[in-house]
Chain A
Amino acid sequence: MLKKLTFNKYFLLVFFFGSSSWSPDGIYAASKPPHMMLNGFVMQSYGKTDSNNFLGDTSSARGSLDYTEIGVNGFLKFSPKLQLASQLLSRRAGKIDDGMPKLDYALVDYRVLDNQKHGLGFRVGRVKNPFGFYNETRDVSFTRENIILPQSIYFERTRDVTISSDSVHIYGHKQMAFGLIGGQLGAGLPLASGENTEYALFGVNRPGEFSGKPSLIGRVNFELDNLGILAAYSYVNLNMEYKPHASESALLNRNGLVNFEAHVFSIKYNLIKWSFTGEYAQRKMSSDGLRVSSVVNNKTGESFYAQAVYRVSKRWRVISRYDVLYADILDRNGNEFSKATLQANYSRFAKDAVLGVQFNINRSWMSRMELHLIDGTAWLPIQDNLDSSAVVRKWRMFNASVSYRF
């Protein structure tokens, strides 16, 4: 969204596009295509926990500022049919992300069909995975309701694999008498490399390396014409392969293939003052080849949350949420797991009650605070809590953030 280009934006733009035909009049300044748009965001969060670490050394006396999101994106519109889009993302998040800029997405979008009844098109390149209501813009605080997304569904632990894929997507919609039905289906390679996937699967960072294998991801969605009700079903079937280092061949039985499958049901009900959102997911991670411990392999997990947002005024919002994760639907309290491994049962579930407040300073600036009361550690990032003996079952977390966008 660009209204007027300030000096800073102009500087950024020149930096980003070099000698482009941009002028400070706005996004359609160029009289001839391609039209160009530049947007970005910054968020800085402060986190403090009484025990356990989440996105930084939050249990220290001073808390932590190790949660920062910075993104800049460019959009080139050659015609209504042909568009290019790309976003660079720098994210600092405890020991999960170190702030190194990454190519978040970079895609070519071609529309085959675009009329009042139907739409059909393709996206090719690095495309955000359509997954639930929030996955595609999970790192942009202005598109979330809270500082911390519901971790039962939008894990920090496995974010690398689920965030975007080098893939081909087909998307479309059909206008019906009562609303709109849309869908998107993608096939490609998930971004599985990096130590986060290893922590999520093995609990440690191993010397070998994961890589993405052909995978499928898709979503169908329905919306009433006035957007009063939105509903979606997402399906994820991601494949990865672990290539062990020479020193660890004993890890493998046959091959290192790992499959992650998830079904997500989402619904949102909007009123002028209120919005209610609920999402339910079942997911399963399995590996036939890797010698992954049987207590985590082939287990079906379950997640759900219910969230209410109340718009007190144009500037103030109050947000509350209850979020539940079970690592194994056949062992919700983790007792079987605890018996088999002698590890704590509370690492197999997490229940998070959240109360937050949002203040919109103006169109560009926004501030938030929220308090989490959490029972269980199932979504706690292992990287931030390497000393498992220091992890406690019941913990509290406070977050405050400031966000800016242009």
Chain B
Amino acid sequence: MSIIYRNKSAISCRLLCRRVVTCVFLTWLSFGVGVNSVAWSNEIIVHPTVETTLSRNTLRSIYSMRLQTWEDGSGITVFVLDPAGEAHRSFCLDILNIFPYQLQRVWDVLVFSGSGHSPVIVGSEQEMLERVNQTPGSIGYIAQTEVAVDVKKINIQ
């Protein structure tokens, strides 16, 4: 009996595994080929002197490099992580609600028509934290929630 029981258990385990794999695969498919399903939770961070609440539209204006000044007239410096990376993709889709390729095209048109410039790309989240901390009027984002250096997290209205 116990042998039969073990076999049943092994079969149901295999079935369960198959179902899990199928579910994961389908989920992966639904996110599109080449995109993994890691859940990123981005935080918007700003230099300590910057205001703490922004509307989503204002954030979009800042990241499409249209809005260049804060309300007090001081300049905005915009930092991004690797635009081909998953954290940037997640930031575009979840926070800005813009597809990353659209944002890239907006920057390219600015850069190559003489009507503006693109954000500063930083190499890592650590560098993002440091640059935002050191640059007055700057804004960036990170995927991690615990920050050691002095930057401010902001809320999106």
Can you list 9 A-B contacts (CB < 8 A)? A2-B121, A83-B116, A114-B67, A114-B68, A137-B108, A143-B112, A226-B97, A227-B102, A271-B99
| Chain B 70-86 interface mask (CB, 8 Å, partner A; 1/0) | 01011111000001100
Which residue in chain B gives the minimum CB-CB distance to A75?
B117
Known: A114-B68, A227-B102. A137 touches B33 (CB 8 A): no
Interface members, chain A 217-268 (any B CB < 8 Å) = 225-227
Chain A interface (Cβ < 8 Å from any Cβ of B): 1-4, 26-28, 37, 39, 41, 71, 73, 75, 77, 79-81, 83, 85-87, 105-107, 109, 111, 114-116, 119, 123, 127-128, 136-137, 140, 142-143, 171, 173, 175, 225-227, 270-273, 311-315, 362-363
A79 touches B111 (CB 8 A): no
A39 touches B112 (CB 8 A): yes
Q: Which residues of B contact A86 (CB under 8 A)?
A: 114
Most buried by A among B34, B103, B135: B34
Most buried by A among B69, B76, B115: B115
B61 touches A175 (CB 8 A): yes
A1 touches B66 (CB 8 A): no
A39 touches B66 (CB 8 A): no
> By the criterion of a CB under 8 Å from any partner CB, how many residues of chain B are at the interface?
45
Determine whether B42 belongs to the interface, using a CB cutoff of 8 Å to chain A: no
A3 touches B57 (CB 8 A): no
Min CB distance A393 to B, Å, is 36
A28 touches B135 (CB 8 A): yes
Q: Which residues of B contact A27 (CB under 8 A)?
A: 117, 120
Q: Which residues of A contact B73 (CB under 8 A)?
A: 80
Known: A3-B121, A114-B67. A225 touches B114 (CB 8 A): no
Determine whether B109 belongs to the interface, using a CB cutoff of 8 Å to chain A: yes
Docked Cα-Cα span, A56 to B50, in Å, equals 55
B99 touches A270 (CB 8 A): yes
